[in-house]
Every structure is written in structure tokens, then in C-alpha cells.
Amino acid sequence: MPFDLPLGLVVAILLAIVAVVLFLRSSRRPADKTQPQPIAPPVQPAAPPVQPEPAGPVAPPAGDDKDAAPEITVSEEEPPARAPATSADLIRMPGMDEEMSEVEITQVGAVPADVLAAIRGKLSGEITPAEIEEEAIDVSLDELADETEPEEVTGETALILVSGVARSDRGMKRHCNEDAFLCIPDEPVYAVADGMGGHAAGDVAANLAVEVIEKTFKNRTFEGVGKHGWPRRGEELVAAIEKANEEVWKLSQTDAKYQSMGTTVVAVRFAAKKQRAYIAHVGDSRCYRIRNGEISQLTEDHSLGNLMGVKGKAARHLARAVGISETVAVDLTIDRPTPGDFYLVCSDGLNKMMPDKDILQLFMDAKGSLDERSQSLVDEANRRGGRDNITVISILVESPANAAREAEAARTS
């Protein structure tokens, strides 16, 4: 039997059901943020009094206005600390090797302020040396010629015969080669320059330096010869480097992209009829002599650690370089080469990867041509990491008579 309900009650129940359904639908639908809600319109606040427009920038209102358009603001809260990128992260980014080196150059907090002022803040030595144990071999002063002794009379015949071969490589980490070298067999003069200042300027400084040295010898335009009181050939070599310093400095001052560039220079000039080797240098590129199975460094590194006793990472930064100031002090060493000697002129990309004793052993074990010996040193430095550009000039000193006999034997064999 159907259950009868009053009509009014049925209508009330239906209305209640409709109301519940509408409520549920409205609660599930997201609010449309672009349109005002139809329910309970907000009471409009009284209009504020009109303020005159200020002449300067309008300051933001003190209170929050939720109906106002969104504004871009700068949070006063410091952002969360970000972990610095590691060298492993950076090395995977193309072109970052040079940039990493430039960043290291700026890390000079441990260097005394007076030292920084003296060297104008332009530092090098950005490549960390390999973990090697150096065995210092002192050069006997008796083996070196006295730079103050008077100019000797040139003999009629050559006492030594000199030949040299250069090899240069950008290494395993660098994307460009900032080293440059020079070989002038007729003088003979051999030089290596190791540029600094980043990939946009280091190679410019190094190449400009060797170009100026070559041009100076070609045109015989030696300026200021005699001011040091040294033998003429040594003074001429020093004058060529001083001229290179002048030209690199000028370019760095006239073009903003070259402002911080500089370069090391090490150069050797042989006087065959005097049996002399004149070694002039600025920076930490080196000249070695190999004699009777021993290796000797004939140059002194112009680094903060070596010259000023600076410790830590900054110790390998340069205290002296070509092109970082208007003038530069050039060191000169005079040696007496003898037949059978070898001279190595190199950038620090070699000795940062290999200790002197390993350089000696590898060079002597090669027992090939000068080209093969130079290449073997470059290859080994790369095998050990090749963290910097590597340039090596291998030079052989021979007796002219022995060289002539060997040439004749080779011709007739």
C-alpha cells in the first residue's frame, strides 16, 4: 500500500535535495579567479581623497591591496645558499678551462697588498703543478761566465755548432695554445713565450713578444745597448725583450680586451766564435742545460713564492712578466757551452707535470733526433695530465769538426 505524504512536505523535501545538489556542485568547481564571485559581493570602501601626483617615482602603498594588479618586487630575504660548482662540473662545460684559470687569477687574498701594488695585480701561474718532488741541482758559478768581464775578441772560426728544434702543444685541458716560440738559426736565437690573460689575450701577448724580438734582430734595432755594462750580445738580447715589453704594454693600454695580458719570455742567444750562451728571461719559463748526464736550471723563476717567500696557492703567481708594466727588469745569465751539451728552453707546462730528474731521464733515453726528443717530452707531459700548454725547444751544441765528419760519413754511407 503506497505511503501517502502531505504535498507540502514532498515539495520541501525536493527543494532540500535540489539545494544540496547545487551546493555540492558549487563546492567542487574551482573558483574563477578572473571573475568576481556572484555570492556576497564585497562592500565597496569609501573612495580615498585624491592625492596630488608626486614628481618622483611613486612609492608602493603601505597596505596590501588584493584587488590591485600584481607587482614585481624584490624580496628582502636572502636567497638560499647555492653550493659552488666544482671543477668536475665546470670541466664539462665547453670553453670553461680558460675561464676557470682566470677565476683562479683573482684569488689573491693571501698576497700582501704591497706586492699586489708592485706587480699591478696581473698574476699568472693559474695551473696547479703536479705532485712532484723537485731535486734542486745548483749550478756551479765556475761553470758560468762572469757577466761583468770585458767583451772578448771574436775568434776567426766557430768553436761550437748549434742546432735546435721546437715542439708546441696546447695540452689536454686548454682549448687554445697561448705559448709561442722563436727559432732564428742564423743568430742563433731561440725563445719561448707563455702568454697570460685568458684565451682572448694570452696568445696575443706571447705572439707579439716573439714577433718583436724577431723583428729587432732582423732590423738590428737594439735600443739602449750598453746601459747595463754587460757584453754586447747579451745586452742586445735584453734590449729585444725590453722592446717586446714596450709593445705588449702599449697594446694592452690601447685596447680594452687586452688590458690584463702579459707573457713570460725566455731566450737564448749563442755566440759560436766566443763559445758563449746568453740567457735572458722574465717570468717562470725556463732554460735547462744537460751536461754529462746532469740537468741544471740556468734561470730563476720570477714567482711570488721563489722571490718573495709567499706561501700557498699564490706562491706560483708571477712577480714579473713582460707587458704588465711600462718597463721590466730582465735577468741575464752567461754560460760556456761545450760540445755535447743540450739546452732545453721550455714553458712551465713541461716542468709543472714532470720533475727535473724525469725530464733528464726521458730526454736522454729518447736517443733520437732533437725533434723526437722534444716530442717525447711533450707527449709525456700530456700523458701525465697536460694541464697547460707545453712548448719545448731542444738545442744541441756540437764541435764543428765532429759535425763535419759526421756529415761526411752520412753522405758517403
**pLDDT score of 156:** 75
**pLDDT score of 402:** 81
User: Positive or negative CA dihedral for 147, 148, 154, 157?
Assistant: negative
**The domain 141-412 is classified under which CATH number: 3.30.590.10, 3.60.40.10, 3.40.50.1970, 1.20.58.110?**
3.60.40.10
Distance CA 179, CA 98 (A): 14
Q: 121-125, 275-279, 299-303: which has the minimum mean pLDDT? A: 121-125
Contacts of 194 (CB under 8 A, 6+ apart): 124, 178, 179, 206, 263, 264, 283, 284, 285, 347, 348, 349, 389, 391
Contacts of 333 (CB under 8 A, 6+ apart): 144, 147, 278, 279, 280, 287, 298, 299
> Is the CB of residue 315 less than 8 Å from the CB of residue 123?
no
Does 408 have pLDDT greater than 90?
Answer: no
Which element (helix H / strand E) includes 8?
A: helix 7-28
Q: What confidence tier does 69 reach under pLDDT thresholds 50, 70, 90?
A: very low
Distance CA 206, CA 261 (A): 9
Q: Span 209-222, mean pLDDT? A: 98
Does 39 have pLDDT greater than 70?
Answer: no
Q: Is the pLDDT higher at 20 or at 66?
A: 20
Does 330 have pLDDT greater than 60?
Answer: yes
- For residue 204, give the 3-state DSSP assignment: helix
Q: Is the pLDDT higher at 293 or at 25?
A: 293
Q: What confidence tier does 149 reach under pLDDT thresholds 50, 70, 90?
A: low
DSSP type of residue 81: P
For the chain, what percent of residues have pLDDT higher than 90? 52
Q: Is the pLDDT higher at 35 or at 144?
A: 144
**pLDDT score of 310:** 84
Q: 58-62, 70-74, 265-269: which has the minimum mean pLDDT? A: 70-74
Parallel, antiparallel, or unpaired: how do β-strands 294-297 and 390-398 relate? unpaired
**pLDDT score of 260:** 84
**pLDDT score of 309:** 85
Where do the domains of the chain lie?
Answer: 141-412
> Is the CB of residue 263 less than 8 Å from the CB of residue 195?
yes
Q: Span 172-179, mean pLDDT? A: 93
Q: Mind listing the pLDDT tens digit for each residue in 88-144?
A: 322 222 333 443 443 333 222 233 444 444 343 333 333 444 455 444 444 555 556
Q: 239-248, 309-318, 373-382, 399-408: which has the minimum mean pLDDT? A: 399-408
Does 306 have pLDDT greater than 80?
Answer: yes
Q: Span 378-392, mean pLDDT? A: 97
Helix, strand and coil in the chain, % to nearest 5? 35, 20, 50
pTM: 0.67
Q: Which amino acid, residue 333?
A: T
Q: Residue 41: left if φ>0, alpha if ψ -120 to 50, beta else—which one?
A: beta
**pLDDT score of 277:** 98
Distance CA 331, CA 96 (A): 35
Does 174 have pLDDT greater than 50?
Answer: yes
**pLDDT score of 103:** 30
Q: Span 232-241, mean pLDDT? A: 98
| Helices and strands of the chain, counted as H and E runs | 11, 10
Mean per-residue pLDDT of the chain: 76
Q: Span 369-398, mean pLDDT? A: 97
Q: What would the grid cell of residue 140 be?
A: 756551479
